[in-house]
């Protein structure tokens, strides 16, 4: 049979475990956010370093050529 102090101790242990789990989840989430931010920064830097390509539109739509073939 549980006494009051046993119930209180059990509840404190449960709360301690839940708090620990939440801290672990929060730390993992922050790590994920940091990795995503670093990835975005790297992608932006790569895009800035790439030379711009001169893309010219075709003189006639491809559909026109397919219809004539």
Q: Which two tokens stand for residue 69?
A: 């073939």
Q: Alpha helices of 3-69 — where are they, by DSSP H?
A: 4-49, 62-68
Give the confidence band of 44 by pLDDT, cuts at 50, 70, 90: confident
Q: What span, in angstroms and rounded, lies between the C-alpha atoms of 54 and 41? A: 25
The arithmetic mean of pLDDT across residues 11-34, rounded, is 92
Give the confidence band of 63 by pLDDT, cuts at 50, 70, 90: low
Q: Is the pTM of this model over 0.75?
A: no
Which tens digits make up the pLDDT trace of 52-62?
A: 666 666 566 66
The residue ranking higher by pLDDT, 47 or 54, is 47
């Amino acid at each position: 049979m549980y006494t009051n102090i046993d119930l209180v101790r059990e509840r404190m242990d449960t709360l301690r475990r839940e708090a620990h789990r939440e801290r672990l989840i929060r730390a993992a989430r922050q790590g994920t956010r940091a990795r995503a931010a670093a990835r975005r920064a790297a992608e932006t830097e790569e895009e800035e370093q790439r030379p711009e390509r001169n893309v010219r539109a075709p003189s006639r739509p491809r559909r026109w050529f397919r219809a004539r073939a």
